[in-house]
A and B are shown apart, each in its own frame.
Chain A
Amino acid sequence: QVQLVESGGGVVQPGRSLRLSCAASGFIFSNYALHWVRQAPGKGLEWVAVISYDGSNKYFADSVKGRFTVSRDSSKNTLFLQMNSLRPDDTAVYYCARDGYTYAYDYWGQGTLVTVSS
């Protein structure tokens, strides 16, 4: 069955960096675009970034552009989100989600919490 499992969250000071991972299984990883979506505590969903199935195209929300990068390793079936210059308003649960060919996210991970605080 399709599984997406995020890891790498934690507490980090403002201005520092963190790398999130999303381990995928149960499907052909290299066939699907993957997104990062976050949710601040008690708030709604916010799209963060997307990487195409082959890694050739990447897009970012304005709120993270220039600070976050996204990559994927097909040999490890893993998606990454490198977060630099973290700010308190980056505090959120970060989800990875699969683009299911239906113009929607058909599978989501369970999320990993990132807390940016001094």
Chain B
Amino acid sequence: EIVLTQSPGTLSLSPGERATLSCRASQSFSSTYLAWYQQKPGQAPRLLIYGASSRATGIPDRFSGSGSGTDFTLTISRLEPEDFAVYYCQQYGGSPWTFGQGTKVEIK
């Protein structure tokens, strides 16, 4: 099983600042199978990034993903008020599909 560890657990930033979220895997896998989701309170998660760096439909270009092997990053270039949420990475390479524990981006 691939374990994903996200850091930091909480990121306290102000609107307009840059957010950098990390997702580290216990073993290497193809970046094709790395996705990022955003979840707001009381809502279902929403797909942001697939294939480590491809934005999903309708996702603003301030969201970008990068990485390979065991280290992946989600960057939000300039935080908008609606971006304060919890973010999860996921590996989609096969059973069991696993998620990181999440990074909460909160308003400083």
Contacts and interface: CB of A to CB of B under 8 A. Distances in A.
A108 B56 contact: no
A103 B44 contact: no
Interface size class of A (residues with CB under 8 A): 20 to 34
A47 B98 contact: yes
A102 B54 contact: yes
Contact of B95 (A59, A95, A103, A105): A59
B36 to A, nearest CB: 9
Interface residues of B, number: 26
Contacts of A108: 44-46
A105 B35 contact: yes
Contacts of B11: none
A27 to B, nearest CB: 14
Given A45-B45, A45-B88, A95-B44, A104 B99 contact: no
Interface of A: 35, 44-47, 50, 59, 61-62, 95, 100, 102-106, 108-111
19 contacts: A44-B99, A45-B37, A45-B88, A45-B90, A45-B99, A45-B102, A47-B97, A47-B98, A47-B99, A50-B97, A95-B45, A100-B50, A102-B50, A102-B51, A104-B35, A104-B47, A106-B47, A108-B46, A111-B44
